[in-house]
Amino acid sequence: MAEQTDGPLGVGHDVKRVEDDRLIRGKGNFVGDISLPGMLHMALVRSPLAHAGIKSIGAGAATALEGVVAVVTGKDLQAHELAWMPTLSGDTQAVLATDKVRFQGQEVAAVIAEDPYTAQDAVELVEVDYEPLPVLVDPREALAEGATVIRDEKQGQSDNRCYSWEAGDAAATERAFADADVVVSLDTFYPRSHPAPLETCGCVADVSSATGKATIYMTSQAPHAHRTLFAMVAGLPEQNIRIVSPDLGGGFGNKVPIYPGYVVATAASLLIGRPVKWIETRTENLISTGFARDFHMHGELALKSDGKMLGLKASLVSDNGAFYADAQPSKFKAGLFHVVTGSYDLPAAHVSAEGAYTNKAPGGVAYRCSFRITEASFLIERLVQNAAYELDIDPAELRVKNFIQPDQFPYRTPTGFEYDSGDYERALRLALEKVGYEELKREREELREKGKLLGVGIASFTEAVGAGNHKDYDIVGIKMFDSAELRVHPTGKAILKIGVKTQGQGHETTFAQIVAEELGIPPEDVAVQHGDTDNTPYGLGTYASRSTPTGGAATAVIARKLREKAGKIAANMLEVSEEDLEWETPEFRVKGAPDRSVSIQDVAFAAYTDPPEGMEAGLEGSHYYDPPNLTFPFGTYVAVVEVDEGTGEWKVRRLVAVDDCGVRINPMIVEGQIHGGLTEGFAIAAMQQITFDEAGNCIGSNFTDYLVPTAWETPRFETEQTVTPSPHHPIGAKGVGESATVGSPAAYVNAVIDALAHKGVRNIDMPVTPAKVWEASEGEAAGKM
């Protein structure tokens, strides 16, 4: 625990999360809790087929059911030009299918009824006549010549290519490869996974026929951006749209896209004149909303025989499903995958990526990940481990030999990032020391002689979080900055309104701590408001660990601006010039006469009761922060696993995580973020599987098939930290929310591979199930690998 003092608990204190009191007592206010007078309920008819023409939709029986108010189809929406909508990646998506269905679970019609049970019953009565079409579930087959074109409604679309993109210097990389003594390659598939937040998606849309005002309570990680998109989709004037995103039961990227359900519920409320509520079931959430990953990756690392890395090539195929509907910055079609050079001083690199449309639900959301960085980090950390085996160099030492050195920052990577700060070796050495690396290596050899398998896996990741700056980062043209508005009241209490939107990360606590740090107002005196577009300044939302780097910075800057004004008021109160004052949180003191002071609370009162002559009254303001760069948190994770050769089962004995996210605002909350991420990373590495059969049926549509780890399976984590501040962030903080999901999968997989490496095993694709481990181990033994 950080030291607690009597002063305002600013940055660096383990302030208890203020939001937990209401959440733990069941007093949170989620979309599911919202009930409005006269409210109707909506349920969606979804396609059982992955690809089929729609010959007809029979709604007669459903409409006739008592309690049903309306059945809405794509044709109805077409009449209002609402059958298709733009996506946050600049594509289009069917709201309700008119011509065809393109994935299993696609929205075909909506039933609006007096209660949710009737709505669900009526869904069963809607008769849709489908004409099956060939199904494509493998992106590589979808990209092959002659494949059925899935998005045939798109003008100019003659194949299933959804994007092509590259970064880095292909010619320089070829030259680097020509100088190599060794080239290590890896083909690996990062499987489709799902963020699976505790709360599914939903909304209550309330369009007033009296005022035309649309109030939409919605599970949204990005309420302002969603408001703008709603204005564009529905043609409603933006000032008449209010999005309220109340308490959220997790998001992890799943609540970034705009889903058809939100749009249909809003259209239905507009047409019927009553509020309409729509809440997804778990299966609906798991089969139709933003999937992640689904990346086929080929990587090649060129090295000298002494271990010096020369160059890296990566080529990727991403499966984006039927609609490119996640949110990637428009310059970067494969997200920030080009961070794939990781923590290494690689002179040359080239990345090429192709996206494919397939008959699967839209994919590619940044599941607790900064736009595809998880996949990139996995590829480089797996490649480095295999290179170590190839060269017979210790994997830790191979990393140290190639790390970017502290004096090389700011460091420009061959694919175009400028890393802000880092000390990779320090984090690695601390992790090795904590885990007892040398001792473990000895134990591994001893156990092998006894026929037992122990593996040690390292991942030294670098993340890139906190988009923008505005020049490089936007979502459908909206620049990625963020904002904070701070109002200090006469009694010295404050309200902070922020553009970002917590989903459980604890912003109501940590953002108040930033105000406490900069302005001396205790965090318990600062109410943090978020998630209501009528009541907060514009922002791009919370995903990609961007809240601290952007909204946190905006908060620090506006607090500093108010402190500047407060200084002028204090000087007036103490009858000295501003230069004669010094700020010693939480008061202004006359230099050399510390007994002559005024507190920030005294100043706040004076701002409203006795401002200096000619000064505008009040103590409030807002700031839009355009970050000069991303922030680059990093760390080293070491997993130690025991593998049972007979069954292929593996158990995590230790997981040591050293994280560096610069200055920690609330170390306890940061630890919580890391524990959560390490758990999700473990789930992806060990057990999560969403597959599709040849007919496009989604296997993994419930928590029996799609496994979420419980306390029983979750390993124990040991966490450590180093602190390398970001030089450009006002308080030196970097984002951290996703570090552990990004960094840990490679550590777990590397550990299992390490246990089997002496048998020649070099790859097992995730999820690393006991069956796959057994097969790899036995296959090699039998000479089949």
Nearer to ligand CDP, 110 or 465 (CB): 465
User: Strand 478-479 vs strand 474-475: parallel, antiparallel, or unpaired?
Assistant: antiparallel
Closer residue to ligand CDP in complex, CB, 105/735: 735
Burial class (CB in 10 A: 0-12, 13-18, 19+), 471: exposed
Q: Point out which residues pair with 68 in neighbouring strands.
A: 113
- Nearest approach, Cβ of residue 538 and ligand CDP (Å): 17
Stretch of 169-177, 308-316, 543-551, 589-597 contacting ligand CDP, by CB under 6 A: 543-551
Binding segment for ligand CDP (CB under 6 A), chosen from 185-193, 491-499, 501-509, 556-564, is 501-509
Q: Tell me if 717 sits within 8 A of 675, measured CB to CB.
A: yes
Number of residues in contact with ligand CDP under rule CB under 6 A: 23
Sign, CA torsion 506/426/303/772 = negative
Min CB(509)–ligand CDP separation in Å: 7
Residues 395-434 within binding reach of ligand CDP (CB under 6 A)? none
Specify burial of residue 330 (Cβ count, 10 A radius: 0-12, 13-18, 19+): middle
Q: Which of 361, 432, 519, 665: binder of ligand CDP (CB under 6 A)?
A: 665
In the region spanning residues 427 to 486, those forming contacts with ligand CDP, defined by CB under 6 A, are none
Report, in Å, the least distance between residue 528 CB and ligand CDP: 10
In the three-class reduction of DSSP (H, G, I as helix; E, B as strand; rest coil), residue 700 is classed as coil
CB 66 within 8 A of CB 121: no
CB of 710 to ligand CDP, least distance (A): 23
Q: Which is nearer to ligand CDP, 215 or 555 (CB)?
A: 555
Query: What does the block give as tokens for 456?
Result: 């040690």
Q: Is residue 223 near ligand CDP by the rule CB under 6 A?
A: no
Query: Any contact of residue 661 with ligand CDP (CB under 6 A)?
Result: yes
Please pick, from the candidates 355, 506, 537, 743, the single residue that binds ligand CDP as defined by CB under 6 A.
506
Which letter, b or e, does each residue of 301-326 get, where b requires 16 or more Cβ atoms within 10 Å of its Cβ? bbbeeebebbbbbbbbbbbbbbbbbb
Report the candidate in 562, 584, 767, 605 with the shortest Cα–Cα distance to residue 684.
767
Listed ranges 298-306, 342-350, 668-676, 745-753: which one lies at the site for ligand CDP (CB under 6 A)? 668-676
* Binding residues for ligand CDP restricted to 683-742, rule: CB under 6 A: 733-737
Q: Which is nearer to ligand CDP, 510 or 724 (CB)?
A: 510
Tell me if 370 contacts ligand CDP by CB under 6 A.
Answer: no
Say how far apart CA 661 and CA 409 lie, in whole Å: 16
Residue among 612 and 667 whose Cβ is closer to ligand CDP: 667
Q: Would you count residue 664 as binding ligand CDP (CB under 6 A)? A: yes
Q: Tell me the H-state helices in 72-115.
A: 74-78
Does the footprint of ligand CDP cover residue 325 (CB under 6 A)?
no
Given candidates 489, 507, 530, 762, which one binds ligand CDP under the rule CB under 6 A?
507
Letter string b/e over residues 35-66, b meaning 16 or more CB atoms within 10 A of that residue's CB: ebeebbbbbbbbbebbbbebeebebeebeebe
- In the bound state with ligand CDP, the residue whose beta carbon lies nearer, of 338 and 734, is 734
Q: Which of 587, 680, 738, 762 is catalytic?
A: 738
Smallest separation (angstroms) from ligand CDP to the CB of 550: 8
Among positions 542, 572, 629, 688, the unique one binding ligand CDP when judged by CB under 6 A: 542
From the list 201, 369, 661, 698, the catalytic residue is 369
Rounded to whole angstroms, how far apart are CA atoms 674 and 392?
Answer: 32
* Residue 308 beta carbon to ligand CDP: minimum distance, rounded to whole angstroms: 33
Tokens at 711, concatenated: 């306390």
Q: CA-CA distance, 215 to 744, in Å (whole number)?
A: 40
Residue 322 Cβ, how far from ligand CDP at the closest point, in Å?
Answer: 28
Residue 222: which of 319, 290, 281 has the closest Cα?
Answer: 290
* Residue 221 annotated to the active site: yes
Stated as kind and residue range, the H or E segment containing 398 is helix 395-402
How far apart CA 137 and CA 153 sit, in angstroms, is: 19
Please report whether residue 662 would count as binding ligand CDP according to CB under 6 A.
Answer: yes
What the block records as the tokens of 480 is 């990625």
Binding ligand CDP (rule: CB under 6 A), the pick from 265, 356, 379, 670 is 670
Amino acid at 13: H
225 binds ligand CDP (CB under 6 A): no
Q: How far is the CB of 221 from ligand CDP (least distance, A)?
A: 9
Specify the residue, 172 or 663, whose C-beta has the smaller distance to ligand CDP.
Answer: 663
- Is 692 within 8 Å of 363 (Cβ atoms)? no
Task: List alpha helices for 520-666, DSSP H.
Answer: 553-574, 600-609
Nearer to ligand CDP, 254 or 542 (CB): 542
Please state, in angstroms and rounded to a whole number, the distance separating the CA atoms of residues 15 and 670: 11
Select the span of 166-174, 307-315, 354-362, 502-510 touching ligand CDP (CB under 6 A).
502-510
What does the chain come to in residues?
A: 785
CB of 197 to ligand CDP, least distance (A): 13
Residue 10 or 321: which CB sits closer to ligand CDP? 10
The span of 114-122, 500-508, 553-561, 600-608 binding ligand CDP (CB under 6 A) equals: 500-508
| Nearer of residues 18 and 65 to ligand CDP, judged by Cβ | 18
Among 98, 104, 510, 572, binds ligand CDP (CB under 6 A): 510
According to CB under 6 A, which one of 220, 341, 359, 545 is a site residue for ligand CDP? 545
267, 312, 669, 768: which one binds ligand CDP (CB under 6 A) = 669
Among positions 171-210, residues that touch ligand CDP (CB under 6 A) are none
Select the span of 291-299, 434-442, 617-625, 661-669 touching ligand CDP (CB under 6 A). Answer: 661-669
Candidates 320, 343, 673, 722: give the one binding ligand CDP (CB under 6 A): 673
Contact 556, 726 (CB under 8 A): no
The DSSP result for 116-133, as a single string, is HHHHHHHHHH-EEEEEE-
Minimum separation from the CB atom of position 569 to ligand CDP (A): 29
Q: Which amino acid is at 16?
A: K
The answer to whether 661 is a known catalytic residue is: no
Q: Is 145 exposed, middle or buried (0-12, 13-18, 19+ CB in 10 A)?
A: exposed
Closest CA to 485 of 558, 389, 588, 589: 558
Looking at beta carbons only, is 656 or 661 nearer to ligand CDP? 661
Q: For ligand CDP, give the closer residue by CB, 107 or 671.
A: 671
Active-site residue (options: 227, 368, 654, 664): 368
In angstroms, how far is the first alpha carbon of the chain from the final one?
Answer: 50
Burial of 126 (0-12, 13-18, 19+ CB in 10 A): buried
> Hey, what are 383's tokens?
């490649």
- Let me know if 369 is a catalytic residue: yes
Cite the DSSP H helix spans in 280-372.
282-288
Q: Identify which of residues 68 and 498 has a Cβ nearer to ligand CDP in the complex.
A: 498
Tell me the window of 19-27, 52-60, 406-414, 539-547 that interacts with ligand CDP (CB under 6 A): 539-547
Q: Which parts of 546-585 interact with ligand CDP (CB under 6 A)?
A: 546-548
Strands (E), 409-565: 411-412, 418-419, 453-462, 474-475, 478-479, 482-488, 494-498, 526-529
Q: Catalytic site residues?
A: 221, 368-369, 738
Binding site for ligand CDP (CB under 6 A): 505-507, 510, 542, 545-548, 661-666, 669-670, 673, 733-737
